[in-house]
Amino acid sequence: MSEREKILEIKHLKTYFPIKGTLFKGKAGLVKAVDDISFDVFKGETLGIVGESGSGKSTLGRTILRLTEPTDGEIIFEGNHLEHLGNRQLQKHRQHMQMVFQDPFASLNPRMRVGQLVGEPIAVQKILSKAERTRKIESLIEKVGLPKEALAKFPHEFSGGQRQRIGIARALSMNPKFIIADEPVSALDVSVQSQVLNLMLDLQEEFNLTYLFISHDLSVVKHISDRVGVMYLGRIVEIGPKHDIYNNPLHPYTQALLSAIPIVNFEKKREKIQLSGEPPSPSDPPTGCAFHTRCPKAFDRCKVERPELIHNESGQQVACHLYSQEDNKKILNAESKILQLTKQS
Amino acid sequence: MKTLMGNAKNINLIIGLLILISFLLLMIVSFFYTPHDVTAMNVANKLKGPNSENWFGTDEFGRDIFSRIMKGTQTAFFVGTLTVTIGVVFGTLIGGIAGYVGGWIDEVFMRIMDALMAFPGIILALMLVAVFGSGIVNTSIALGLIAIPSIARIARSGFVQHKEYEYVLSAKLIGVKPFKIMFRHILPNVSSPLIVAASVSFGVAMLAEAALSYLGLGVKPPDPSWGRMLKDSQAFLKSAPWYTYAPGIAITFMVLGFYMLSNAIRDILDPRSN
């Protein structure tokens, strides 16, 4: 695989939520929001995580920051294990990891002025003098494309896109290395989405940031990501470089997702894969491969055995029994080679 | 000051302030002067209707009702303010911690509140006054204690709801201390129902004080209290209705004044309403 420096390693991360039972039945069950997920994030890249609602992608983001406690597994940020740290220790490492939230209306305290909101992280850190703090707040708000006058206003005086810029400035004021963006543009108008995405890309370059970008929107993820992971029912079913995922999806679920993106091209007809049924409940996931109930290519083994992620040569990983046998692996590699050749030609 | 001026159109603020300032002035004056001695009895003059000498008439002992209403303002302000302060401070603290921390602390705190609520308020106050002695301070403390559970519940529900909001998560992520998150971030956002509850409990406190005074456990006679005047006048509701009207209207206006002012304060504190 790549020799780039890993900034974050996730190993067998699990987040289960107990369902509160009735008086006589103590525990009614578990919702496996994040179910045995492992992946790495490399320095300076953007890893996009896509999945439909309820697939656990937001829980994944929150668990990495331990806003939700993990049930099991390891979270290693810059070589430090975060999963068992006490509050004070955790905060020391967590200041390099920040989050940009989904809803720009809920993520900014309505009773605080923008200056306070952006300056709060700096105030908490207590490393800058008051004058330095003011200067930093002003430079941050200008970096995200808002005028200085904005600092004296309240969040409700801004539009959704402007608020998201304030949220980004707030996250940046901690000098983070790693930002988890949880659907940062899904609440915004399409015209504003691209502005915010481009701002995030510019800031990534300027501050050398690493993003974990969570979204349900495949085209947004395609725009911003270097690598993409696809989640289904608390598991990662496929992860790999953006071009491989979008041009050569291996997992039947990814194939179905991508075939659902509307394209403006009347000559080229594309086969649309329609999935039947609803996604199963994460409190009662199907046995074996979680996707087998809706998979058009499912066979007997899928119902019994849970597939593990397997690699191919280009760094694409997929959790599907279609590719898990030895000869299938060869086919997989051959397929991707052919793809690369056709791309070159 | 700027926000106050900006809300000059706010009718709640003007009327609320007007009522409360009048009562406040009445109270201050009553420390030095009342038209008649509040305790001087004159049986020959009893139960007289309003006239130029006794503006609100006289009670069954011939005492001047207007003077007693004036003097009663002191009791009303004292009991009301102390009760509401105790109720709001402890109610918010207990409810806030229970809601924000959750888990067994929530269970323990709220079950204690349930236990407090299970007692009829007056009986609890009776018990407390019986143990610690009667008097205006003990009465207020007892009434404040009774006000705690309902305010704690309101505070708890607000904190439970808001602790999952993204702005709280964001503050946590930044490393803001839990106490500061609770009282600097969440409290201002959940204060509206608390302010309303406080103004309601102000009215309840005055009526409860009346009941306690009636039982001889509140303000000691012959010091006037609106509540006891209201109770005492019951017997003469038909023959001397003005006797009931005077304390009744005084309590109504006092509670109304507080209610309007608290509504206005709530609006002023909310930056979105400007």
The ranges assigned to domains in chain A are 6-21+28-96+176-265
Asked if pLDDT for residue A24 goes beyond 50, the answer is yes
Q: Is B173 on the interface with A (CB under 8 A)?
A: yes
- Kindly report the CATH class assigned to A6-21+28-96+176-265: alpha beta
- From A102's Cα to the closest Cα of chain B, the distance in A is 8
Question: B27 vs chain A: nearest CA distance in angstroms?
Answer: 36
CA distance A338 to B12: 76
To which residue do tokens 């706010």 refer? B10
B272 interface with A at CB cutoff 8 Å: yes
Q: Please give the ipTM for the structure prediction.
A: 0.80
Instruction: Report whether A100 contacts A168 (CB < 8 A).
Output: yes
Residue A178 near chain B (CB below 8 Å): no
Phi, psi of A260 (to 5 degrees): -90, -10
Residue B40 and residue B37: Cα distance in Å, rounded? Answer: 5
Residue B202 C-alpha, separation from nearest chain A C-alpha, in angstroms: 27
Cross-chain residue pair A94–B271, CB shorter than 8 Å: no
Interface of A with B in 60-99 (CB under 8 A): 62, 65, 67, 91, 94-95, 97-99
Yes or no: say if A256 and A81 are a contact pair by the CB < 8 Å rule.
no
Does the beta carbon of B103 lie under 8 angstroms from any beta carbon of chain A? no
Q: Does B273 touch chain A (CB under 8 A)?
A: no
pLDDT by position in tens, chain B (length 274)? 455 555 545 788 889 899 999 999 999 998 888 888 877 777 777 777 788 777 888 888 888 888 889 988 988 888 889 999 999 999 999 999 999 998 899 999 999 999 988 888 778 888 888 888 877 888 888 889 989 999 999 999 999 999 989 899 999 888 888 899 999 899 999 988 898 888 888 877 877 877 787 677 777 776 788 888 888 888 888 888 888 888 889 988 988 888 888 888 888 777 776 5
Residue A121 near chain B (CB below 8 Å): yes
Burial (CB count within 10 angstroms: exposed 0-12, middle 13-18, buried 19+), residue A205 = exposed
* Structural domains of chain B, ranges and CATH numbers in brackets: 2-15+72-273 (1.10.3720.10)
CB A128 within 8 A of CB A136: yes
B106: Cα separation from own chain's centroid: 27
CA distance B101 to chain A (A): 14
* Contact (CB<8Å) B173/A65: yes
Q: Which of B165, B170, B188 sits opposite A111 (nearest CB)?
A: B188
Question: Which residue of B3, B166, B190 is the best one to mutate when testing the A interface, meaning the one whose CB has the most A CBs within 10 A?
Answer: B166
